[in-house]
Structure 1
């Protein structure tokens, strides 16, 4: 099975630097354009299935990528729930939340947001998604999801411990990761590529 893993396009909250989590905001014109550029990049790939997070920014991106294909949604692909921090900019956080946000980056094993999820909880549902599709899917499978999910998948396929989750590569909007996956092990063939956006902008 070949997994084509994509982060959603740029959103209004991305531009405003607000934490989204399970909150949501629509794609910007840049997000729509970049998703269109990625569609051109992968247009020759015959996708057997397309899956997306149920959050609208992911579904909207998936609809642009494969407009004539049914999009299946799965809770396992949702972004990490950030609880009380969702919708806020970093400078708007309560002092206790700022300390929690620091552990998000620096000590992920201890991260526990008020009303949100730990990395372990997200990892459990991501692994549940992989188990589900390993039983039912084959061929080329498109996954449209979010930053933490993609980083957890990369960690799994590269056999990294959680403490290394924020090592490169950086997960840009509409970045593409391609993984050859046998249901247990995955070999990353392309990692968080945004070559389509560079070409589209004349870089």
Structure 2
């Protein structure tokens, strides 16, 4: 059996400002660092066979706080969905200027049409399928951690569970943990969006 720990990066400065991040980076806040350190203490007794992280700086810093002195495998395939011209803008600005696509982004993701330089959800899904195939995820055993981003983790969860509708029904809070168990390619959620460490 394989246990996957999905972990979102810690709170960032742009999270507090309600700004879209995507491929752009925003530094962790003091609270974000404390969240990651607290999670590291909670997970200390677990023997992780492998640790993956997005190669975005906020995810790298989070993973290092959670897993100090551990070997971490960084992958650009786990980065946040590219949001094109939305990146760096506030939620209210985006919603005002692009109400239809803003609604689709969260509620009808596979009808969402990205702005210039952005990724569609089909593209994100294919990128994550490449990660699963490249790392032969379903062939691995033991316990694996994946440190990534809000949209990416939601998509990865819905992809593993083969339920596209799940994407719009869940949310992933900063430094939350969601655990999925895979046994003979059968997948189920053990728990979702746990923030009890803070």
For normalisation by structure 1, the TM-score amounts to 0.88
Deviation at 1:132, TM superposition (A): 2.1
Aligned 1:1-203 pairs, distance under 5 A: 1-93=2-94, 96-114=97-115, 115-134=117-136, 137-161=140-164, 163-168=165-170, 170-182=171-183, 184-197=185-198
Task: Give the total of aligned pairs.
Answer: 195
Q: What is the alpha-carbon distance in structure 2 between the residues aligned to residue 122 and residue 2 of structure 1? A: 23
What is the CA RMSD across the aligned residues, in angstroms?
1.9
Question: How much has 1:43 moved relative to structure 2?
Answer: 0.6
Instruction: Give unmatched runs, 5+ long, in structure 1.
Output: 198-203
- Alignment partners' CA distance in 2, 1:134 and 1:61: 24
TM-score normalised to the size of structure 2?
A: 0.90
Q: Deviations over 1:64-105 (max 9, x none)?
A: 111111211112211110000000002333855343222212
Could you tell me whether the CA contact under 8 Å between 1:157 and 1:188 is conserved in 2? no
Consecutive unaligned residues of structure 2, counting only runs of 5 or more, are none
Q: Is the contact between residue 6 and residue 143 of structure 1 (CA under 8 Å) also seen in structure 2?
A: yes
Contact 1:36 1:65 in 2 (8 A): yes
Q: Give the whole-Å Cα distance in 2 for the aligned partners of 1:148 and 1:3.
A: 17
Distance 2:118 2:98 in 1: 12
Q: 1:149 Cα shift?
A: 1.6
Q: Deviations over 1:133-167 (max 9, x none)?
A: 22684421110001112111221343323x44121
